[in-house]
Structures are given as structure tokens and as C-alpha cells.
């Protein structure tokens, strides 16, 4: 007596993530792993969080920290975010801010808000796997988002109509994206806004890695550019999804969304219905730690991760054979390799584990259309420079032997 | 330039909760409020949580507490739940347990898993408002669930078919339900299981208040009764939704679901896609506090809330005029009043606030069909006995004058 036969049709779209299953296997001792995409736990501001939680749970605050709170989020944290967004050139009020349980939750709510079955979501080929997972629950069709597309917007709209809906959103992570590490330049962001205007769709700006820039100049967020065009946040179609996961802590599950008031109001209703609110104590702790040391902590992260990125790019240049290319990320956690056409990165991973004991993520899972078999993702966030050098040496050897 | 015109159709079903809007108004000084349905914050085990968070954030554990973790949940907490369920007569393994961000999140995921637009959810008239909010996002039709229904199951199924889908689930809170405070007796639970077999639908057992029994004998959970029939959890159609919100802390957002493995597996995928996992530190803290003092803490809660319930029932008997009836809950936080037909509880609330300054929740919002105008909900969880006595005296006076 299983209940599968009465599951909603969307359940058929929910598949176990190959990558997550893979990552479980890769955390074996002896493996040099560049597969994970998580922050280095040695860099968490643990003492600051211990102090903040101790304050939140003292007799003066515990009744609030352990109690239900409003779906919109903890007001001092929303105010901190308003100030943070202003530094990014985005002037908003607290009514434009919703606290979410990580930016992943914002992606779920935005899928829920915009996508009916058959609607089209524009995503990169490749794109963040978690975005595909979140949107899949709402049964969209995917089409390829490229910033330098020479397809006429009318053709994209027509294909969406043929797919049974319309283009509802374009999703992208413009800074040091997972998985490619690539950044969209300012003209690209402007072109994306033009496209969104023509298609009359929402833009979901996933800013998970935004604070982790190691060199080059800051580029205004897409929402900042749209705000400059329109003059008021409430006229904007871009939803900015922020996260403390890559800066302060992923385990506390605190992120945020910033958007026009009608969008935030709907997201508040969705959140109220879905989990009431994000954990009160966590929001209080993050507000205090962010207030106390966000900028200085991010500076430390940048210095550490920059050195690891440099080590990886240096080692790749030294050890990769001809025919292998890779991205040169200005921030984030990832370098993206393209192998000669015909190479199967999944088979290569198996061989790598069996011989040189180096782990990475085969790239195919990041493509909504199942292409990309000759690509792979490397993360430099959790390994020291010597491990990175040795790992790239081994991987280069393996590729030369292949 | 609003985006409303490209929202998915489900957005039309998401409405601001009148009750939540109302509650904001009712928290004024001078009001004797029996409107909220929240635990008394003075009873939170704050010191125990402070100690547990301090441990979770010490150098030996912080790297785990602040890091990403698996979607299924923190293993020691899942083990505690396995032991807890066994005490309730429900033998399961950790593979049958998913940690959720409150039981509200389980309701969202179960709506997502089972309901396609037009499918039927059977719910009580009245029922928990948050369940209607969670399910609404999946655009179901509602039909009335009554335990002593004399409608033939075939008629229910036929009405569901005419509504464009089939009966997918029956939702209820069998112990001291919100809003009525009523409990389904054992024969009623067995009849419900018979009905679910005939209709071939899931049963969602919302056990949010289960631990808060003040007198009378424990009744086996619906899942325990189904398990006794079928012999193995993996053959059961009941999903048990538990919560620490009414026992340890709502603000930490930790609850759980127990069900057949195929259902839990799907819920894990939904959770992975929707928010990756519930906050790691919170799960660690709840596991430690539950381990240390769950039973003794619940005993304290029962003693305190029992005295408040007694005070409310005594005062109602002393002050309510003829024609007003109310439930006699054996646990939980709520008493449900039925006023003479024709009385409008919403208008009464306005008069009450203007004159005797007593707050309650008009009952209509709890009815999926919009009936119940002559009902209201009183909560005794957050007021001391003297306040309860005075509040009921004033309310009785108001009703006599009306």
C-alpha cells in the first residue's frame, strides 16, 4: 500500500540530486575533494555567534527569541539589510525586505509565486542546480538564458507560448555564479533588463556570492541598475535574493529577498502559509553579528579565499594539458573546466577516485537540457593552497593520461 | 509596473489572514486578550536552551552547528523522535522521520506532495486556519470531514470527481484541536481510518498539541492505530506531524513528520528543493534540551495550563448566559464557544473591545465554507487565573446585555 499513485503530478519532477548523493561518497578520508561548494567551517565567526545567542537567550530576551514572530522577519535585521542594500546602491524601505530561511527559500517562494505548469523560466546553461530543483516543483518549461543571445525576444516568447505558458522569470546569479564562477558585466546586466522589459517577466537576481569579490571592480546589482532606470523600487521587476550563508553561516538558514512591495507582500503570505517565519533566535543572532563584524569578517574571508583561488588558477595553468579551458573567477568559490568535446566528466570522476583520489563535480547536472557532459566544477573554498596545488597536479596528470 | 498580472493562479488563493491582522490590533495595553494561540513565553526552558546553544557553539561543535547539514535532519534528534514515537505506540526507524521547520512546514510539503489543482482535501468545519493557508497554495477544493458522517464515502468521492480531481487527503488534529479544543475518541479514529481506506487517501494527523493533555486517558495516535492494523509503518497512509512549538519553543521552528518511507523520501526531496534543511544549530539545541528535560518540562506545562483551563471552564459556567455553549477540552490551549444562531461574533468582538476590553477570535475564519459566524475561540494559555476569571465575567456580562 504505497501512496505514490495519489501524489500530485509535480512529484514526478522531484528527483534526488545526483550531486548530493555523490557528495556523500566523496567525503572519504584520503580523497582530495574539490567537489563541495560550502564555506570553510574554520572561518565561521563562532565566538561572535556564541555571544549573540547568549544575549538572545538571556532573561531579558529569551521570551522573544524562543517565541513565534512575524512572517516578514525580525525588524532590526530588516533594518540592517536596508542599510546593506543602500551600500550596494539600492535604496529601499523595510517594507521591501522579507527574511527567508536562506536564499534557497526565496527561490522556492518565487517559483511558487510566478510559475504555473508549462510557464517558462529562463536559466543559464549551466545554472545553479538548487534553482532548478526549487522551480521544478512548479512544473515549468526551461529555456536558455544567454546575455549575448542573438535570438529575437519574440522567438523566446513564441517558444514559451508553444510550451503552454509564457516567460515568467529569468533567473541568474550575476556575480561569481555557481557553478561557473563567471560574472555578468554591466552592459550584460543592462541587456538583461532590456530583455526582461520586452518579455515582461520577473528577474531573479541570486546574489549568494555577491560579497565575495577578490579583485576587479564591483558591478552594480541588476536591481540597482533597474532602480536607476525607474526611480522607485516598487516599479522594479527584479527580485534580489541575498544570503548570509556564504558570509556568516549557512547552518542558521538566514537570507533575504528585496523587491517591489506587491511582490514582497505576496511572498510574506506564502511564507506565513509555508512555515510561519524563520527562526526568531537565528534572526536576532545574525542581526547582532552582522552589526558587529560583517565588513571585517568578509574582509577576512576574501583574503583567505582569494589566496585559494590564486593557488587553483596557478596550479591549473601549470598542470592542465592543452585542450582544457577554465574560467578565471573574480570571486566566489568555483572554477569551471571545459574538457575536450567527447570527454565524459562523470567517467573521469570515477577514474579519478580510483587512481589519483581527486574529487570534483561533473557538470552535466547543472544543465537543464542535459548537455555539458565534458564540463566539471572545482571548488577552492575548503582546501588549503598546498592541497589545491597537489590536487590540480594529480588532475592534470590524469587528464594527460586520458 | 506591477507584476501581479504574471503571478501564478495560486496567488489568488493566498489571502492575508484576518486573524493575524486582528491579533496585531489586540495586543494593546489594557485589553484582556484570549485571542492569541501561543505558548506562555514565561514557561520556555530558556536556561536549558542557553546551555545547549552554548555547547553547540563551542569550538568542538561550532563548525557543525553553523554549517550546512542534510535535508533529512540532525541524526540525534531523529533518534530522539524515534524513541518518542515508540512511547506513543509507533515503532519506526530514523528513515521514517523528517525534521521540518515546525509542523506548519510539514503541512506545506504534504499539500505540495498530494494536491493538484481541483483535488479534494477533507477538513473539519472548523479546522486549523494554517492548514487551509498551507493547502490553498496548491488550489484544492475542500469538503467537510466529519467523523460521524452519515454521508456514504461514494458520495464524497463523487463530489470530489465533480470538483475536478479526487480525494487526496483528510486533515485533522485529533487531540485538543485548534480551534475547538475537541478530541477524537478511539472509535472515531478507527472510523476515520476506515474512511481513508475506502477513499484511498492520505491521513494527515496534526499532533501539535498531543503532549498537552490535562486529564482523561491518552488515546493512541491515528498512526498507532493504523500501524496496529497493518503491521508496518511503510504500509501506512497516515502522516504524523509533530512539533516542539507547544512544548519547548515555537521560535526555533523545529518539528517533524513520521510516515511511510516513500512519503518521507519525497518530502526530503521537497525540503531539499525548498530550503535545503532546517537550521542545524536549532536541531542540535532541541535534541539536547529534549534529551535533558522533555518529560519534566511537559509536566510543568500541563500543571500550569490545566489550572488555566480549569479557571476558564469554571468562569464560563459562572458567567455565560443561557444559549451559549462551549467545549470542555482535555488539553491544548483552546475553548470554543457557540453563541445563539444569528449572533455575529465579529460584531461582538468590536463591541467587546469598545466596552469591556476583552479580546477573542471570531470563529468564521476557521470554516472553509465561510459558515460559523456565531462561534468564537478563546485561548487560556497566556493569562493567569485571575485574568481569566475577570475576562469571562466581562464577556458574560456583554453577552447578557446583547
| pLDDT, tens only, B310-321 | 999 999 999 999
**Cβ-based burial of B9 (10 A; exposed 0-12, middle 13-18, buried ≥19):** exposed
User: Secondary structure of chain B: what % helix, strand, coil (to 5)?
Assistant: 50, 15, 40
Same domain, A307 and A352: yes
Domain assignment present for residue A1? The answer is: no
Which residues of chain B have a CB within 8 Å of the CB of A121?
A: none
Closest residue in B to A135 (Cα–Cα): B273
Same domain, A253 and A328: no
| pLDDT, tens only, A112-123 | 999 999 999 999
Same domain, A32 and A59: no
Q: What is the pLDDT of residue B1?
A: 56
Same domain, A212 and A193: yes
Q: What is the pLDDT of residue A1?
A: 55
Domain assignment present for residue B7? The answer is: no
Helical spans, DSSP H, in B13-70: 18-26, 46-56, 62-65
Enclosing domain of residue A381: 9-45+296-401
CB contact under 8 A, A57 and B59: no
Asked if residue A22 lies in contact with residue A366, where contact means CB atoms within 8 angstroms, the answer is no
Which residues of chain A have a CB within 8 Å of the CB of B270?
A: 14, 137
Same domain, A277 and A180: yes
Nearest to B255 by CA among A203, A276, A72: A276
Strands B375-379 and B361-362: antiparallel
Same domain, A265 and A353: no
Crossing angle for the helix pair A385-401 and A345-354, to the nearest 10 degrees: 110
Cα angle: A107, vertex A108, A111; to 5 degrees = 85
Under 8 Å CB pairs connecting chains A and B tally to 251
Asked if residue B361 lies in contact with residue B334, where contact means CB atoms within 8 angstroms, the answer is no
**Cβ-based burial of B230 (10 A; exposed 0-12, middle 13-18, buried ≥19):** middle
Neighbours of B198 (CB within 10 A): 14
Neighbours of B334 (CB within 10 A): 25
| Backbone angle region of B216, left / alpha / beta, with phi > 0 → left and psi within -120 to 50 → alpha | left
Domain assignment present for residue A83? The answer is: yes
CB contact under 8 A, B136 and A274: no
Q: What is the pLDDT of residue A402?
A: 79
Q: Cα A142 to chain center, whole Å?
A: 18
Q: Which strands, in side-by-side order, build the sheet including B238-243?
A: B97-100, B255-258, B238-243, B202-206, B167-172, B120-123, B141-144
- Tens-digit pLDDT string for chain A (402 aa): 579 999 999 999 998 877 777 777 776 788 999 998 899 999 999 999 999 999 999 999 999 999 999 999 999 999 999 999 999 999 999 999 999 999 999 999 999 999 999 999 999 999 999 999 999 999 999 999 988 777 899 999 999 999 999 999 999 999 999 999 999 999 999 999 999 999 999 999 999 999 999 999 999 999 999 999 999 999 999 999 999 999 999 999 999 999 999 999 999 999 999 999 999 999 999 999 999 999 999 999 999 999 999 999 999 999 999 999 999 999 999 999 999 999 999 999 999 999 999 999 999 999 999 999 999 999 999 999 999 999 999 999 999 997
Neighbours of B61 (CB within 10 A): 16
CB contact under 8 A, A282 and B277: no
Cα angle: B237, vertex B240, B244; to 5 degrees = 170
What pLDDT band is residue B2 in, cutting at 50, 70 and 90?
Answer: confident
Strands A375-379 and A361-362: antiparallel
Domain assignment present for residue A253? The answer is: yes
Closest residue in B to A101 (Cα–Cα): B275
Residues in chain B: 402
Cis peptide upstream of residue A179 (ω within 30 degrees of 0): yes
Closest residue in A to B117 (Cα–Cα): A8
CB contact under 8 A, B137 and A112: yes
Domain assignment present for residue B6? The answer is: no
Which residues of chain A have a CB within 8 Å of the CB of B201?
A: 6
Which residues of chain B have a CB within 8 Å of the CB of A11?
A: 113, 266
Looking at every residue in chain A, the average pLDDT score rounds to 96
Which of A293, A324, A339 is the last residue before a domain boundary? Answer: A293
Same domain, B87 and B228: yes
Which of B293, B315, B339 is the last residue before a domain boundary? Answer: B293
A interface mutation test: which of B1, B2, B3 has the most A CBs within 10 A?
B3
Same domain, A166 and A286: yes
Same domain, A35 and A133: no
**At B91, is the secondary structure helix, strand, or coil?**
coil
CB contact under 8 A, A46 and B67: no
CB contact under 8 A, B104 and A54: no
Q: What percent of chain B has pLDDT over 70?
A: 99
Domain of B356, CATH number, reads 3.90.1150.10
- Concatenated DSSP letters for B101-129? SHHHHHHHHHHHHHPPTT-EEEE-SS--H
**At A118, is the secondary structure helix, strand, or coil?**
coil
Of A53, A68, A251, the CB nearest to B280: A251
CB contact under 8 A, B9 and A166: no
Angstrom distance (rounded) from CA A336 to CA B271 = 28
Q: Is the pLDDT of residue B254 over 70?
A: yes
Same domain, B221 and B253: yes
| pLDDT, tens only, B226-235 | 999 999 999 9
CB contact under 8 A, A262 and B3: yes
Closest residue in A to B73 (Cα–Cα): A251
B80: its cell numbers: 530522539
Domain assignment present for residue B69? The answer is: yes
Q: Cα B262 to chain center, whole Å?
A: 24
Asked if residue B254 lies in contact with residue B282, where contact means CB atoms within 8 angstroms, the answer is yes
User: Secondary structure of chain A: what % helix, strand, coil (to 5)?
Assistant: 50, 15, 40
Q: How many domains does chain B have?
A: 2
B73: its cell numbers: 535532519
Closest residue in B to A238 (Cα–Cα): B3
B112: its cell numbers: 505540495
CB contact under 8 A, B201 and A1: no
Domain assignment present for residue A2? The answer is: no
CB contact under 8 A, B16 and A269: yes
Which of B270, B293, B316 is the last residue before a domain boundary? Answer: B293
A138: its cell numbers: 512548479
Crossing angle for the helix pair A102-114 and B261-275, to the nearest 10 degrees: 100
Asked if residue A263 lies in contact with residue B3, where contact means CB atoms within 8 angstroms, the answer is yes
A interface mutation test: which of B16, B66, B115 has the most A CBs within 10 A?
B66
**At A320, is the secondary structure helix, strand, or coil?**
coil
Domain assignment present for residue B1? The answer is: no
Domain of A120, CATH number, reads 3.40.640.10
Residue corresponding to grid cell 485574568: B387
Same domain, A53 and A171: yes
Same domain, B50 and B152: yes
Q: Is the pLDDT of residue B181 over 90?
A: yes
Angstrom distance (rounded) from CA B136 to CA B201 = 18
Exposure of A220 in the CB half-sphere (CA atoms within 13 A): 17
Which one is predicted more confidently, B184 or A18? Answer: B184
Angstrom distance (rounded) from CA B254 to CA B259 = 17
Amino acid at each position: 500500500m504505497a501512496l505514490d499513485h495519489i501524489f500530485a503530478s509535480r512529484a514526478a519532477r522531484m528527483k534526488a540530486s545526483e550531486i548530493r548523493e555523490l557528495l556523500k561518497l566523496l567525503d572519504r578520508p584520503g580523497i582530495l575533494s574539490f567537489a563541495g561548494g560550502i564555506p570553510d567551517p574554520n572561518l565561521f565567526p563562532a565566538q561572535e555567534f556564541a555571544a549573540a545567542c547568549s544575549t538572545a537567550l538571556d532573561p531579558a530576551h529569551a521570551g522573544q527569541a524562543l517565541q513565534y514572530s512575524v512572517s516578514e522577519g525580525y525588524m532590526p535585521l530588516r533594518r540592517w539589510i536596508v542599510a546593506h542594500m543602500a551600500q550596494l546602491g539600492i535604496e529601499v524601505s523595510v517594507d521591501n525586505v522579507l527574511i527567508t530561511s536562506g536564499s534557497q527559500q526565496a527561490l522556492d517562494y518565487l517559483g511558487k509565486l510566478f510559475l504555473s505548469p508549462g510557464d517558462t523560466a529562463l536559466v543559464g546553461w549551466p545554472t545553479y542546480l538548487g534553482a532548478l530543483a526549487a522551480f521544478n516543483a512548479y512544473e515549468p518549461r526551461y529555456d536558455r538564458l544567454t546575455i549575448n543571445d542573438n535570438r529575437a525576444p519574440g522567438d523566446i516568447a513564441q517558444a514559451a507560448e508553444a510550451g503552454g505558458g509564457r516567460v515568467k522569470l529569468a533567473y541568474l546569479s550575476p556575480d561569481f555564479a555557481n557553478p561557473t564562477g563567471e560574472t555578468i558585466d554591466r552592459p550584460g546586466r543592462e541587456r538583461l533588463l532590456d530583455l526582461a522589459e520586452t518579455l515582461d517577466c520577473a528577474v531573479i537576481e541570486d546574489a549568494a556570492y555577491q560579497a565575495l569579490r577578490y579583485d576587479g571592480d564591483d558591478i552594480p546589482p541588476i536591481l540597482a541598475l533597474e532602480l536607476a532606470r525607474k526611480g522607485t523600487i516598487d516599479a522594479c521587476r527584479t527580485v534580489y535574493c541575498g544570503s548570509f550563508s556564504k558570509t556568516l553561516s549557512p547552518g542558521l538558514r538566514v537570507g533575504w529577498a528585496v523587491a517591489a512591495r506587491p511582490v514582497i507582500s505576496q511572498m510574506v503570505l506564502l511564507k506565513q502559509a509555508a512555515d510561519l517565519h524563520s527562526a526568531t533566535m537565528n534572526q536576532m543572532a545574525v542581526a547582532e553579528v552582522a552589526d558587529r563584524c560583517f565588513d571585517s569578517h568578509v574582509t577576512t574571508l576574501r583574503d583567505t579565499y582569494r589566496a585559494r583561488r590564486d593557488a587553483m588558477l596557478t596550479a591549473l595553468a601549470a598542470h592542465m594539458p592543452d585542450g582544457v579551458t577554465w574560467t578565471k573567477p573574480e570571486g566566489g568559490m568555483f572554477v569551471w573546466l571545459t574538457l575536450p568535446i567527447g570527454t565524459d566528466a562523470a567517467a573521469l570522476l570515477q577514474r579519478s577516485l580510483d587512481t589519483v583520489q581527486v574529487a570534483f563535480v561533473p557538470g552535466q547536472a547543472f544543465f537543464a537540457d542535459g548537455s555539458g557532459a565534458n564540463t566539471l566544477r572545482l571548488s577552492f573554498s575548503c582546501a588549503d593552497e598546498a592541497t589545491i596545488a597537489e590536487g590540480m597536479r594529480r588532475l592534470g596528470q590524469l587528464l594527460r593520461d586520458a
